[in-house]
């Protein structure tokens, strides 16, 4: 066991931040706690400024890159991956509506406390207006990305990839290292405002539910894939277990691609089909991440008493499925891409966003494992219809290795 690698990983640092935040909430004086409230105010303001830029910089080349694939099979595979992701979100929303009234009955009045309230008001705050709104960023990225697939400009495409690398450098060198401090401040605030115990108990139930539901959804995926491909779904799932286990350890769909590819071949998927579908789905198929984010988000909506109509909830899920293609296939990427929609559509404040990030990272590996294992099911479906029709593909560098290292604690690419 590599203790140095474990101790430098984001998950380890987040867990330590949560524990320290809880402990320090019992004895920190208000004046010291307000220092962290000030940091959270500034860091939260920066996230609000940066997230629209992140969405535009990451989604634009992702969409443009999709247009450089294998013709109609690119569209078919993308459509299947998106439908799988959206179906996961809709099932999660339906589960939340059905289960939360009794699962979270005792926490119905709990609210993820705003770090700026009461004695924990920041000493000062700075207004950081974003260059454009989150929805504007999403629509602009979608429009520019689609236009680039028609223009076929290598210069413009390379420029968008360069911007993507710059943004990912900001994430890996600034945002990721400071996330534990942000989460520490949030749990410190929860403890000093008296909502810590109820919130932790409630989210413990939601965390367990999210893990269970990823297995339920995998069962549905492989039942459908087995029926279409004419394969035993239990044997197919068993063949994918090495990929599932690897994703549990790495929390990275990108790092798991070689194992996912090898596992997919065991299910009699053609080499070129696996070589095309697996790397593509590592970026655009996030059914497990969607399951977790949706369950967590609507747990906070329920506990906080936010007014979110079914129509708004479905719209959130549909847009989240598009926005998460900005997730670069590394640990925590999906939740970072979702931050903007949580605030703009569901009305989450900084403390609620921090709670989402902490909960997501706590069981990030289970969502990633569900993502990559589901990629194998999609490969079986595509292989049924596209065998012999997809040429070999070569993935492009997107700068995700550095971000993976920043989150996992590794110093060298593997």
Residue 341 in any domain: the answer is yes
Residue 412 in any domain: the answer is no
Residue 411 in any domain: the answer is no
Q: What is the pLDDT confidence band of residue 115, given thresholds at 50, 70 and 90?
A: very low
Residue 408 in any domain: the answer is no
What integer pLDDT is reported at residue 113 of this predicted model?
39
What integer pLDDT is reported at residue 71 of this predicted model?
56
Q: What is the pLDDT confidence band of residue 213, given thresholds at 50, 70 and 90?
A: very high
How many domains does one find in the chain?
Answer: 1
Taking only the tens place, the pLDDT of each residue in 53-105 is: 877 887 787 677 655 554 577 778 888 999 999 999 999 999 999 998 888 77
Residue 414 in any domain: the answer is no
pLDDT(358) > 50? yes
Residue 145 in any domain: the answer is yes
What integer pLDDT is reported at residue 70 of this predicted model?
47
CATH code, 323? 1.10.3860
Residue 8 in any domain: the answer is yes
Taking only the tens place, the pLDDT of each residue in 185-201 is: 877 877 776 656 666 66
Residue 229 belongs to domain spanning:
3-400
Contacts of 81 by beta carbon, 8 Å cutoff, 6+ apart: 280, 281, 284, 285, 378
Taking only the tens place, the pLDDT of each residue in 282-327 is: 778 889 989 999 999 998 888 878 888 999 999 999 988 888 775 5
Taking only the tens place, the pLDDT of each residue in 368-402 is: 889 999 999 999 998 988 776 655 544 444 455 55
Residue 19 in any domain: the answer is yes
**Burial label, 392 (beta-carbon count in 10 A; 0-12, 13-18, 19+):** exposed
What integer pLDDT is reported at residue 137 of this predicted model?
80
Q: 103-120: buried (b, 16+ CB within 10 Å) or exposed (e) per residue?
A: bbeebeebbbbbbbeeeb
Q: What is the pLDDT confidence band of residue 11, given thresholds at 50, 70 and 90?
A: low
In the predicted model, what is the mean pLDDT of residues 137-154?
A: 80
What integer pLDDT is reported at residue 342 of this predicted model?
87
């Amino acid at each position: 066991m590599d203790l140095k690698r474990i101790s430098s990983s984001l998950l380890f640092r987040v867990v330590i931040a949560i524990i320290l935040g809880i402990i320090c909430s019992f004895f920190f004086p208000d004046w010291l706690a307000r220092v962290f409230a000030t940091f959270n105010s500034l860091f939260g303001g920066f996230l609000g400024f940066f997230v629209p830029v992140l969405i535009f910089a990451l989604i634009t080349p992702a969409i443009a890159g999709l247009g450089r694939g294998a013709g109609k099979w690119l569209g078919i595979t993308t459509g299947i991956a998106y439908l799988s992701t959206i179906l996961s979100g809709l099932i999660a929303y339906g589960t939340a509506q059905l289960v939360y009234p009794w699962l979270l009955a005792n926490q119905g009045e709990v609210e993820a406390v705003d770090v700026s309230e009461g004695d924990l008001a920041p000493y000062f705050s700075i207004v950081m207006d974003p260059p454009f709104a989150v929805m504007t960023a999403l629509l602009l990225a979608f429009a520019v990305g689609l236009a680039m697939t028609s223009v076929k400009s290598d210069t413009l495409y390379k420029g968008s990839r360069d911007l993507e690398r710059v943004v990912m450098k900001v994430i890996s060198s600034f945002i990721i290292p400071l996330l534990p401090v942000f989460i520490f401040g949030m749990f410190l605030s929860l403890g000093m405002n008296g909502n810590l115990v109820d919130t932790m108990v409630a989210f413990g139930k939601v965390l367990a539910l999210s893990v269970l539901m990823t297995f339920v959804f995998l069962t549905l995926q492989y039942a459908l894939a087995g029926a279409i491909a004419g394969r035993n779904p239990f044997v197919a799932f068993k063949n994918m277990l090495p990929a599932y286990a690897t994703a549990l350890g790495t929390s990275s769909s990108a790092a798991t691609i070689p194992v996912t590819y090898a596992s997919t071949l065991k299910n009699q998927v053609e080499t070129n089909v696996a070589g095309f579908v697996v790397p593509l789905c590592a970026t655009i198929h996030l059914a497990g991440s969607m399951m977790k984010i949706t369950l967590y988000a609507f747990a906070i909506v329920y506990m906080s008493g936010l007014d979110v109509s079914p129509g708004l909830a479905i719209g959130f899920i549909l847009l989240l499925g598009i926005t998460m293609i900005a997730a670069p296939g590394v640990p925590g990427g999906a939740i970072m891409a979702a931050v903007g929609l949580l605030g703009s559509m569901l009305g989450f404040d900084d403390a609620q966003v921090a709670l989402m990030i902490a909960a997501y990272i706590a069981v990030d590996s289970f969502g990633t494992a569900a993502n990559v294992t589901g990629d194998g099911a999609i490969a079986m479906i595509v292989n049924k219809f596209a065998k012999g029709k997809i040429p070999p593909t070569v993935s492009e560098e997107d700068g995700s290795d550095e971000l993976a290292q920043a989150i996992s604690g590794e110093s060298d690419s593997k």
